[in-house]
Amino acid sequence: MPRRGALTGSGQRTITRGRDMDVDDLFEVATVCEISDSCDQLGVPCVRTGEIRPVYSGCAPFAGTVTTIALRPGRGTRLGSLIQIFEDTEDDAVLIDLGGRTDLQCWGSVLATAAMRFEVRAALVNGSARDADQLAGLGFPTFARGTHPASMRGRLALTDVGCDVVVDGRPVTSGCAVAADSNGVVFFPREHADKVFDFARQIAAAEQRLLDRIRSVSRPTAEVLDTILP
């Protein structure tokens, strides 16, 4: 039951849906580092972390929007409750909050397979995930603070959906834009997405020109470095 725009990708199967965002070639040009720099230079408030990283080698970068889901230790939530969230959301990804705990996990191959049925295209976990090899086999982009092998059944209760989630001490709002790759994750307001991504492309191009000049010119490198900004 498609609800979003067509999937685009290249290279390592980059996942860049972003509803109506201009992200078609984003990770062919830029990384999360340039996207973070773009937020700084444009004065766009953002939340960034290097602690939420790809769960498996070769995980595709992702850009889109997130629905937040809060889980906490409790008597347990049926998986069907989470799958209903996947069906209801119009966002491209889910951000599942375990309060940063890595001794519990809330994402694996079963939930990823269900999420794919409803065209949710990535998961970000403020905590741990599991089933790294199976997630790699599915090609489902998953970013987390770590992995933990235990089942979530009977250990976690759903406490909120669409709530603010605290990542590294700062709030992340449901529906915000996100970009994630091997460098980490950046969250920022959805309304700034196109200009942030466009300027990130410009920064990446300027940095590539800088690298080319460092390799080729005879001037002192310090002088060349002063030309980094577009």
Residue 120 lies in a domain: yes
Confidence category of residue 11, pLDDT binned at 50, 70, 90: very low
pLDDT digit string, tens, across residues 73-130 = 988 777 788 899 999 999 999 999 999 999 999 999 999 999 999 999 999 999 999 9
Task: Please give the torsion angle defined by the CA atoms of residues 45, 51, 56 and 59, in that order, rounded to the nearest 10 degrees.
Answer: 20
Q: Is residue 10 part of a domain?
A: no
Pairing mode of beta strands 15-16, 62-73: parallel
pTM: 0.86
Which CATH number belongs to the domain containing residue 43 in this structure? 3.50.30.40
Residue 3 located in a structural domain: no
Is the residue at 8 inside a domain?
no
Q: Determine the structural domain holding residue 107 and report its residue range.
A: 15-225
pLDDT band at 14 (very low <50, low <70, confident <90, very high): very low
Tell me if 189 sits within 8 A of 172, measured CB to CB. no
Give residue-wise pLDDT tens across range 45-57. Answer: 999 999 999 999 9
**Per DSSP, what are the bridge partners of residue 171?**
166
Number of domains in the chain: 1
117 Cβ partners below 8 Å, 6+ apart?
86
Within a domain: residue 154? yes
Query: Per-residue pLDDT tens for 153-167?
Result: 889 999 999 999 999
- Looking at the domain assignment, is residue 4 inside a domain? no
62 belongs to a structural domain: yes
Tell which wins on pLDDT, 16 or 207: 207
Residue 54 lies in a domain: yes
pLDDT (0 to 100) of residue 16: 43
